[in-house]
Amino acid sequence: MRNHNDKYQSYKTALSRLLKQNNLDMMSKDTEVINRIFNLLTENSQVGKIKGIISTTEIVKYGGDIEDDKAEEIFIKIINWWQYNGL
C-alpha cells in the first residue's frame, strides 16, 4: 500500500510543478485543488471540469484573474501531461 501512495504523491507533485510553471503559484501549493484535479484525472470522468476548477479557483479563492484562453491552455497541458504520464 505504501508504494501505491508514494506513486500517487509523485503524480500530485508533478501536477503541482506543472501549475507552478504556468504561473499559478498559489494554486500549485493548494493540496485541495491538486487532489480535485488528480481525482478527475484518475477517474477519467468529467475531466472538462478541470478548466472550471482552474478558472474559479484563481478568481474566487485567490482573488486573481485568469483569461479563458489561459485556463484552456493550462487545461490542455494537464491533459497532455496526464496522457503521457498517467496511471
| Mean pLDDT, rounded, for 17-38 | 94
Q: Which residue has the cell 500549485?
A: 28
- Quick one: which of 35, 38, 72 has its CA closest to 52? 72
| Mean pLDDT, rounded, for 3-17 | 85
pLDDT band for position 3 (cuts 50, 70, 90): low
Domain count of the fold of the chain: 1
Residue 26's Cβ-count burial label (10 Å; 0-12, 13-18, 19+) is: middle
Q: What pLDDT shows up at residue 18?
A: 97
User: What does the pLDDT look like over 35-61, one tens digit per residue?
Assistant: 999 999 999 878 999 999 999 988 888
Domain range holding 28?
Answer: 2-85
The per-residue DSSP string of 33-75 comes to HHHHHHHHHHHTS-TTHHHHHHHHIIIIIT-----HHHHHHHH
